[in-house]
């Protein structure tokens, strides 16, 4: 019986090579596919990156942000020189870069050969998801921290407004109030008023709610007039039917620290997980964390975030990248290690732009 002719799906220009490098690379096209899939998985699953201030750090371990307070104005007295009314107060905020964040997998050559599905593309998406989830979770926790913080400008007579926490409802029933669409709407309008009173720009105001909160709003759009008239049918059912409340655009995410938990699979009472992220005093408890992101108990009453893009900053020294072994390493192990990596750090910038919703009579303490 004649030998079958292999369809060269992973070979460049019908290469007959059997190696892993250059002209002999039998997986040349697979590697390029993986890289694209990894970035797709990251970009489709992170929302916080584009909602806050992002800066790239070329060298150094941290990035400094400078605050300048407000200045006074006064009426001029004829005949008197104008020599300045004093410098505005100045303060700083430093965001450190956390250690290298990685997600990796080892793909055995034989497994990939025998698999009846495209193995690397699936793994690449999962690596992108893992990095994106961590990225969002750290930023959201930084915003929650800012909502509980005073402003760095604290000079006498020049104090700037700090963060805000707003209760959903008026009772102590945390879960019931947090999922009550009418009470959520009322909290949005209160948050909008608070941000207006602090002089926070209306441009770039967003909210991030848990999926169950978001869909509670979608379910009751008819009664609270939140429906987007341009969205019908599947658009509404997919959760895209709500545009904004009080000028605040709404997003949903499983990565906000909702009542001490992250998104769960079936019911909101399922245990959440902060494994590998909890820090007791800001930096010392978990290797690799160089900023204060709180611990699981810091978010026991948290029920959503409303903020403007100046609320937090994220510093990147290494953006999302993919690395794959090749050459002698691949020959020795008969497979490839596929690695997704990034280096970033996050913290609040302008506390006045941070609002945290809570569903009990007392909010969580500052951390």
Q: What's the whole-model pTM score?
A: 0.81
List Cβ neighbours of 259 (8 Å cut-off, separation of 6 or more). 174, 175, 178, 268, 299, 300, 301, 302, 303, 359
| Domain with residues 20-69+88-358, CATH architecture | Alpha-Beta Complex (3.90)
Half-sphere exposure of residue 55: CA atoms within 13 angstroms, side-chain side: 20
Q: Taking the C-alpha atoms of 171, 176, 179 and 182 in order, what is their torsion angle to the nearest 10 degrees? A: -50
- Written as tens digits, the pLDDT of the chain (367 aa) is 555 545 555 555 555 655 545 555 555 555 555 566 666 777 777 889 889 999 888 877 888 888 777 777 778 889 888 877 767 888 888 899 998 988 888 887 787 777 656 777 778 888 888 898 889 999 999 999 999 999 988 888 788 899 999 999 887 667 788 999 999 999 999 999 999 999 999 999 999 999 889 988 888 765 565 655 555 555 555 555 567 889 999 999 988 988 888 876 555 554 445 444 444 444 445 678 888 888 878 898 999 999 999 999 999 998 888 888 877 778 888 888 888 999 999 999 999 999 999 988 888 999 8
């Amino acid at each position: 019986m004649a030998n079958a002719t292999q369809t060269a799906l992973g070979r460049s220009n019908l290469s007959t090579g059997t190696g892993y490098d250059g002209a002999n690379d039998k997986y040349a096209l697979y590697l390029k596919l993986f890289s694209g899939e990894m970035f797709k998985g990251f970009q489709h699953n992170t929302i916080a990156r584009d909602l806050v201030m992002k800066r790239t750090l070329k060298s150094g371990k941290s990035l400094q942000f400078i605050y300048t307070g407000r200045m006074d104005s006064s009426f001029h007295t004829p005949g008197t020189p104008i020599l300045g009314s004093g410098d505005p107060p100045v303060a700083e905020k430093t965001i450190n870069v956390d250690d290298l964040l990685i997600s990796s997998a080892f793909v055995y050559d034989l497994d990939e050969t025998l698999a009846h599905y495209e193995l690397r593309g699936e793994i690449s998406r999962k690596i992108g998801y893992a990095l994106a989830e961590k990225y969002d979770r750290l930023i959201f926790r930084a915003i929650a921290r800012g909502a509980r913080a005073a402003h760095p400008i604290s000079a006498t007579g020049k104090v700037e407004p700090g963060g805000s926490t707003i209760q959903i409802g008026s009772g102590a029933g945390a879960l019931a109030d947090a999922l009550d669409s009418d009470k959520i709407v009322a909290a949005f309008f209160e948050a909008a008023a608070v941000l207006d009173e602090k002089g926070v720009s209306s441009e770039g105001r967003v909210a991030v709610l848990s999926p169950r909160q978001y869909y509670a709003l979608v379910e009751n759009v008819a009664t609270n007039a939140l429906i987007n008239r341009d969205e019908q049918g599947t658009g509404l059912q997919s959760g895209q039917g709500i545009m904004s409340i009080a000028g605040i655009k709404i997003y949903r995410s499983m990565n906000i620290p909702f009542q001490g938990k992250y998104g769960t699979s079936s019911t909101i009472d399922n245990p959440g997980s902060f494994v590998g992220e909890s820090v007791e005093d800001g930096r010392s408890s978990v290797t690799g964390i160089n900023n204060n992101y709180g611990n699981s108990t810091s978010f026991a009453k948290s029920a959503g975030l409303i903020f403007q893009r100046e609320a937090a900053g994220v510093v990147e020294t290494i953006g999302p990248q993919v690395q794959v072994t090749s050459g002698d390493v691949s020959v020795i192990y008969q497979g490839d290690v596929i690695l997704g990596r990034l280096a970033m750090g996050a913290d609040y910038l302008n506390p006045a732009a941070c609002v945290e919703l809570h569903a009990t009579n007392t909010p969580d303490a500052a951390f």
